[in-house]
Structure 1
Amino acid sequence: MPGKLFTLLLAQYKNQSSLNVLRHETDTKKKHRMMGVYAGMAIVFVMMVGYSFAIAYGYGYLKMAYVIPGYSLAISSIIALVFTFVKTNGFLFAFKDYDMVMALPVSTKTVITAKFLYMYINNLIFSLCVMIPMCAGYAIWERPGVRTWLIWLIGACFAPLIPMSLAALAGALIAAIGSRFRFKVFVQVVLTLLLLAAAFSLNFIFTGAGSNAEFFQRMENLGELLEAQIHKLYPVSVIFDRAVNESSVLYLLLFLLLSFGIYVLFVSIVAVKYKAINTALMTGSSHSNYKVSKMESRSMMHALVRKEWKRFTSSVIYLTNVGMGVLLAVSGSVICVFIGIDKVLASMEIGGMQQGFLYAAPFAVAMMLTMTCTTSVSWSLEGKNLWIVKSLPIEESMIFKSKMAFNLLLLVPAALVCDICFAISLKLNIVMTLLYLVVLFAAVVFSTTFGMWAGKKFANFEWENEVEIIKQGLASMLGIFVNMLLEIALAVAAFFLSTLIDGRIVMALFAAVLGFMSVLFYRSVCSFS
């Protein structure tokens, strides 16, 4: 059995990681594209390492090194939890080569284990990029012995197991419930969003709304407060904290036993109904009494945009991953109305940060909003059906315009909602409200046109699983990180420049720059042949 598991895992890894493209592909463009993907991932990992070390060093400098072990475990666990949850459907369930894999002479548990281990290896890389640098920062201030180093390293290797098992189990329950309904994808998306909303709500309840006041009033107990918040957020971190800070092998064994036990429990539960869930998810419904009552005709653009909408809502992975930016931006803006962000803003007046925050805020909202960039992946998602699109009696530029129009239809209403919410929560006047809307609209248009340019420039139609395009594609990474880094840079610039000149001029100038770049990318996209 271990031999079969290793063979299945190795084949899966070669297929999903596109190593065969680098080894055997003769097309230099495809090789360069994959090298670009790996280079982008390497940059992300380097940034994570540096950021993690800086946080740990800062805590040690503030004489709070004892909170670092639990903090590092909580952060790596959250990453593993999110990545596993959004990847479960489409990779662990209802994956494209399901019939071929299940026809192999291996047990269901072996298939589940191979799928889970592949996700574990990917999450382990992120876990090590967080926990090892934090261990180095911890070591600078605490000077731990060899045993503590080994405890930390072993714990880091097992850190993803619990959050992955819980996330995969939640995904399995959502898949099982959704498979019983006719509109499977819609039900799964609704359940996914409800679960995420519940998780955020519980986190808010556990951490406590009044902790901020306590934070400002009792700075001398900052370490204890932070440690308590981490333990509330992720109770397992208590065990890892004890294992490292007390150099306790007993607590380490307890942590390992709990991690491995939850993983075994997950595999055992899912294996019982694995085939039934996949069969239900991959089976369509039909009605024998179908009758043609009325046929409607639509414009070419309307039909193409409608096609994009159906593709977007027919995939749980596509909708939950790419659409998450809209959810975060809108929900965050609505929450600001209820928590009264104007009070937080008033407290910043003492430090002279109030005006800077006002002019930087729309770019921070735009950063979340532009995380939804369907244009960066929609062209590649045509996949093997590209010939159908190419054979239509329309210009190729019309297809690109329809994909950009669909992204705008998703983001522009969301931008309007965010603008209204911030106008209420920050008590903005008419001019600032309009400027916020202009900035958000300019950011949305730039994200749409740049995403379409990247999606066309780095298109990949030879994929086996849409996860390769949505989560691992170079165009997808560019669509997310370029917008994110650009909006962060503009927010920081607006914050500091507003102290030198009128912040409204800064906002208008940055919006104009985004608009100008949007025109350039739009013309480049429409001139592609």
Structure 2
Amino acid sequence: MLKTLIKLQFQKALARYTANSSNKKKNGKKSSFNSPAVYLALLAFVGVVFAFMFYNIFRMMASMLATSGFSWLYFLYVMGASFVISTIGCIFLSLSQLYEAKDNELLLSMPIPPRSILFCRMLPLYAQNLLFCALVQVPAFAAYATNASVSASLVVSQIVILLLVPLLSLSVSCILGWLIAFVTSRTRHKNVVTIVFSLVFFALYFYLYYQAEDLVKALAANSIGIGANIMDSAYPLYLTGLGASGDLLPLFGVAVVIIAFFAVVYAVLSHSFIKLATAKKGAKKAVYKEKTLKVSSASKALLRKERMMFTGNATYMLNSGLSALIMVGGTIYAVFQFNMVNTLPSEFTDIISVYLPLIISFVIAVGPISAASISMEAKNLWLMQSLPVSSLQVLTQKLKLHFIVNGVVSLVPSVVLSIMLGMKPVNIIITILIPIIFSLFSGLLGLMFDLKKPKLDWNTTAEAVKQSASVMLSLLISVLAVCVPVIAYSVLLSFEIKILTEIFLACTAFYFILISLPIWYWIKNKGTKVFANL
């Protein structure tokens, strides 16, 4: 039974990263776009990019520390970086996989010990952390090897550390995930709390990302002082660094501590897993108050239902609505940095004026709300199909929610930044229209892909919102659509072909309208039939 559970959990984990779904077409054929090999190749490419980035980051540090007797401090830095990245990447996944999975109660109703269920759920999380740590530690070791000799004991210690750090980050992630689950279970506004936690971790991640180069230089320049302070005030960290750099006796002590810490966490979670997985605690129950029933049209009721589904799920709202947050936050940041733009020549200002609506459109592309709107219905899809409304009405309201969140919010950067750039009135109008038109295009595109490749068999919302084929294809095609005018304008500049800004922007708007029309025609005629037969 344990072997079967482990196999099932790894199959689900693989499906998350390959956007694979059990939904098949009636003719039994699968599209090549839905092949796991395509997504694995894409993930491999992303992994290579990140590995190369970490190699360049640690190469600067290795050249200074490897030859100055501070190899232990270098590998301590590497362990810290891999621990932070793997922990941030695992917190919310542990929350959804361990404490909020839909099939927890089903598994607990079977003759399976809770510790076995917990172990099977934690094993794929450990494998993911191992992958994250490898993306950091392997390039860091390669950077060190190019600057210093490598002994057999160092290779052994690095292999052991590569196995231990994911275990430590998994333990911490489980604790932090439990804290988030505990807090959210005791508040009425669960989504608000989850989003706040998510934004804090996102802010921490992006801060570390953008400050990585300066941080590495500062750590390398002050390594002697930092190393002395660690040896005096944090001796266990010094021993950890020694173990990571090839001293096998401290390495054994580090391994014992990390394994013991994980064992305690696992024992506590195993003992209380039933209570954690089935907890239905909540805030103070709402008191019923008699009110007059409000009657609305079918369209308004459907839109309200879509809005409640969107705002009622933190994962859906945070991932698919991220574009709106970026547009508002980016506008605020740009306003404070606008003095730098005023110092640029007028030619550069004109170029920025052309790229502004395209940048806003690119941001809209990363928030494909409609691309998961049908998948989010899951097993309740039959309710929408049985309502006395047409399929086109249902699909239109899903599109309308996407437009409200992306198209309406795009007015903030379009209006504010175009006015601050001193654009002509005609250019301002077109700059406002382009993101609005593009939001309709991306909404239609996401709806079309979600009709063709819905993921209705998900266990966690993240599978429908982040790992479905419809979301990935919608995001990819939307970004490529934005790249066409960007490349076209860059080619015109490279050949020194002058074109009026308003003419190019008008052509861009017409281009987005042109590629939207066939998608709308397909949804209106064939897509409604596909939705009725899902």
TM category (shorter chain) comes to 0.7 to 0.9
Q: Quick one: which of 521, 524, 530 aligns to 1:523?
A: 521
How far 1:114 sits from its partner (Å)?
Answer: 2.6
Deviation digits for residues 424-452 of structure 1, max 9, x if unmatched? 77666655544443332233222111101
Please give the alpha-carbon distance, in whole angstroms, between the structure 2 residues aligned to 1:527 and 1:240: 68
Q: Quick one: which of 124, 144, 150 aligns to 2:130?
A: 124
Given that 1:85 and 1:167 are in contact with CA atoms closer than 8 Å, whether structure 2 keeps it comes out as yes
Q: Quick one: which of 8, 31, 46 aligns to 1:11?
A: 8
Aligned position for 2:192: 190
Given that 2:153 and 2:246 are in contact with CA atoms closer than 8 Å, whether structure 1 keeps it comes out as yes
How many residues align? The count is 504
Please give the alpha-carbon distance, in whole angstroms, between the structure 2 residues aligned to 1:195 and 1:444: 28
| SS of equivalent residue, structure 1 residue 91 | helix
How far 1:57 sits from its partner (Å)?
Answer: 6.0
Report the residue type matching 2:128 in the other structure: N
Please give the alpha-carbon distance, in whole angstroms, between the structure 2 residues aligned to 1:208 and 1:279: 40
Please give the alpha-carbon distance, in whole angstroms, between the structure 2 residues aligned to 1:15 and 1:207: 30
Matches within 5 A, 1:23-422: 32=30, 36=34, 38-55=36-53, 58=56, 80-129=86-135, 131-132=137-138, 135-136=141-142, 139=145, 144=150, 147-181=153-187, 183=188, 187-199=189-201, 224-225=217-218, 249=248, 260=259, 263-264=262-263, 266-267=265-266, 270=269, 274-281=273-280, 290=288, 293-337=291-335, 340-345=336-341, 356=351, 359-420=354-415, 422=417
Report the residue type matching 2:278 in the other structure: T
Please give the alpha-carbon distance, in whole angstroms, between the structure 2 residues aligned to 1:16 and 1:366: 32
Report the residue type matching 1:38 in the other structure: P
How far 1:12 sits from its partner (Å)?
Answer: 2.5
| SS of equivalent residue, structure 1 residue 478 | helix
Report the residue type matching 1:178 in the other structure: T
Please give the alpha-carbon distance, in whole angstroms, between the structure 2 residues aligned to 1:271 and 1:153: 28
Deviation digits for residues 235-279 of structure 1, max 9, x if unmatched? 99x989956995555776677567556645554565565444443
Q: Residues 155 and 356 from structure 1, CA distance in 2 versus in 1: closer, same or farther, beyond 3 angstroms?
A: farther
Q: Residues 23 and 460 from structure 1, CA distance in 2 versus in 1: closer, same or farther, beyond 3 angstroms?
A: closer
Aligned position for 1:449: 444
Please give the alpha-carbon distance, in whole angstroms, between the structure 2 residues aligned to 1:256 and 1:348: 56
Given that 1:362 and 1:436 are in contact with CA atoms closer than 8 Å, whether structure 2 keeps it comes out as yes
Please give the alpha-carbon distance, in whole angstroms, between the structure 2 residues aligned to 1:345 and 1:9: 56
Q: Residues 62 and 90 from structure 1, CA distance in 2 versus in 1: closer, same or farther, beyond 3 angstroms?
A: closer
Deviation digits for residues 384-442 of structure 1, max 9, x if unmatched? 22222222233222221111111111112321223345347766665554444333223
Deviation digits for residues 37-69 of structure 1, max 9, x if unmatched? 523421322322331354356558879766997
Instruction: Report which of the two structures shows the higher radius of gyration computed on alpha carbons.
Output: 2
How far 1:5 sits from its partner (Å)?
Answer: 5.3
| SS of equivalent residue, structure 2 residue 519 | helix
| SS of equivalent residue, structure 1 residue 92 | helix
Report the residue type matching 1:103 in the other structure: S
Instruction: Give the unaligned 5+ runs of structure 1.
Output: 216-221
Aligned position for 1:477: 472
Please give the alpha-carbon distance, in whole angstroms, between the structure 1 residues aligned to 2:407 and 2:21: 43
Given that 1:375 and 1:451 are in contact with CA atoms closer than 8 Å, whether structure 2 keeps it comes out as yes
Given that 2:366 and 2:475 are in contact with CA atoms closer than 8 Å, whether structure 1 keeps it comes out as yes
| SS of equivalent residue, structure 2 residue 30 | helix
How far 1:498 sits from its partner (Å)?
Answer: 4.7
Report the residue type matching 1:401 in the other structure: T
Please give the alpha-carbon distance, in whole angstroms, between the structure 2 residues aligned to 1:411 and 1:240: 52
Please give the alpha-carbon distance, in whole angstroms, between the structure 2 residues aligned to 1:251 and 1:424: 62
Residue identity (%): 19
Given that 2:444 and 2:516 are in contact with CA atoms closer than 8 Å, whether structure 1 keeps it comes out as yes
- The normalised TM-score by structure 1 is 0.76
Please give the alpha-carbon distance, in whole angstroms, between the structure 2 residues aligned to 1:283 and 1:203: 30
Given that 1:494 and 1:503 are in contact with CA atoms closer than 8 Å, whether structure 2 keeps it comes out as no
Given that 1:453 and 1:525 are in contact with CA atoms closer than 8 Å, whether structure 2 keeps it comes out as yes
Report the residue type matching 1:447 in the other structure: S
Given that 1:89 and 1:316 are in contact with CA atoms closer than 8 Å, whether structure 2 keeps it comes out as no
Deviation digits for residues 328-378 of structure 1, max 9, x if unmatched? 3322332333xx32245467769x976655543443443333322121111
Report the residue type matching 2:364 in the other structure: L
Q: Residues 22 and 227 from structure 1, CA distance in 2 versus in 1: closer, same or farther, beyond 3 angstroms?
A: same
1:468 aligns with 2:459: no
Please give the alpha-carbon distance, in whole angstroms, between the structure 2 residues aligned to 1:301 and 1:103: 41
Please give the alpha-carbon distance, in whole angstroms, between the structure 1 residues aligned to 2:360 and 2:76: 30
Report the residue type matching 2:385 in the other structure: K
Please give the alpha-carbon distance, in whole angstroms, between the structure 2 residues aligned to 1:417 and 1:457: 33
Aligned position for 2:70: none
Please give the alpha-carbon distance, in whole angstroms, between the structure 2 residues aligned to 1:88 and 1:306: 31
- The normalised TM-score by structure 2 is 0.75
Given that 1:87 and 1:317 are in contact with CA atoms closer than 8 Å, whether structure 2 keeps it comes out as no
Over the aligned positions, Cα root-mean-square deviation in angstroms equals: 4.7
Q: Residues 509 and 246 from structure 1, CA distance in 2 versus in 1: closer, same or farther, beyond 3 angstroms?
A: farther
Given that 2:58 and 2:140 are in contact with CA atoms closer than 8 Å, whether structure 1 keeps it comes out as no
Deviation digits for residues 130-173 of structure 1, max 9, x if unmatched? 65456556656667455545544444444444444444433322
Please give the alpha-carbon distance, in whole angstroms, between the structure 1 residues aligned to 2:360 and 2:122: 35
Please give the alpha-carbon distance, in whole angstroms, between the structure 2 residues aligned to 1:391 and 1:521: 25
Q: Residues 107 and 335 from structure 1, CA distance in 2 versus in 1: closer, same or farther, beyond 3 angstroms?
A: farther
Please give the alpha-carbon distance, in whole angstroms, between the structure 1 residues aligned to 2:27 and 2:89: 29
Given that 1:56 and 1:138 are in contact with CA atoms closer than 8 Å, whether structure 2 keeps it comes out as no
Q: Residues 228 and 525 from structure 1, CA distance in 2 versus in 1: closer, same or farther, beyond 3 angstroms?
A: farther
